[in-house]
Structures are given as structure tokens and as C-alpha cells.
Amino acid sequence: MPWTPFILSAKCRIFGMWWAEIPTMASLVDVPVVLVGGLRSIEKINQYLNEPTNEARAKCKPACTLPCKEEEADRQTKIEYISLSRPLIREPNLIQRWQQGDTKPSLCVSCNACYRTPGHQCIFNLRNK
């Protein structure tokens, strides 16, 4: 039977949750989790993928400033995939740029104009040609 992913959006409130609850939500399902929407920086992506669940946070002492053992053990979320669309339309070599150490956020401004051009091209890239 083909798997059906559980899709969570990073850019908006989902089911009354904020992004900090995404790792906890991901831990509650038994299917692959895909994080979509609003992902523009490798720093934020790493934060989403390494955020402890609320359950792990609850095991720590309130005054603790460093991650507890329980929090460290539960550091990686069950998010298995991320989705990038518009950032890759604006910068097709974005992943390569990040891999080479230039970790500035994507130049994409989320204007959605790329979806209204032939071939889904970034209007800012078209203007600069």
C-alpha cells in the first residue's frame, strides 16, 4: 500500500498550533511527515528539524538553560522531508549555495508571481536578464 504523507505547514498556524508545536505534532503520527511553506533559510530548517518535542521539554527542569538529557535524546523530529518550491524558482542553485557555506536566506520574497509566468519563472530573474 502506498504511503500517504502527513503535511505540516511551517508558515502559518495549523490546527491552532504555532511552529514550535510542529515537532510534537509530527511525533504523534505514524506516517512520513513533510514540512512545507515559508521555508527560506537553512537556519530555520535546521531549527525545525532539531526542535525538541513539548514532551521532551516538559521533562526538563524549568530553570535549565542547557538542553537536558531527555531533550537531547528527543532532539530530532519525525519530520522526514521538507519542501522548497518558490525559493528554488528564484534561486535554482540555492541548495548548492548553502552547501558551499553561504547560508544567507533565499532571495525569494514569496510574491507568487512566478506561478503566473510561462514556465513558472521568477519575475525578478526575468527583470535581471
Q: Is 24 left (phi over 0), alpha (psi -120 to 50) or beta?
A: alpha
CA–CA separation, 66 and 79 (whole Å): 23
DSSP state of 126: H
Res 128 pLDDT > 60 = yes
CA–CA separation, 30 and 72 (whole Å): 22
What pLDDT, on the 0 to 100 scale, is given for residue 124?
94
What pLDDT, on the 0 to 100 scale, is given for residue 23?
73
Q: Find the mean pLDDT for residues 79-106.
A: 93
pTM: 0.70
Q: Find the mean pLDDT for residues 66-74.
A: 51
Amino acid at position 32, single letter: P
80 falls in which pLDDT band (50, 70, 90)?
A: confident
What pLDDT, on the 0 to 100 scale, is given for residue 14?
47
Res 71 pLDDT > 80 = no
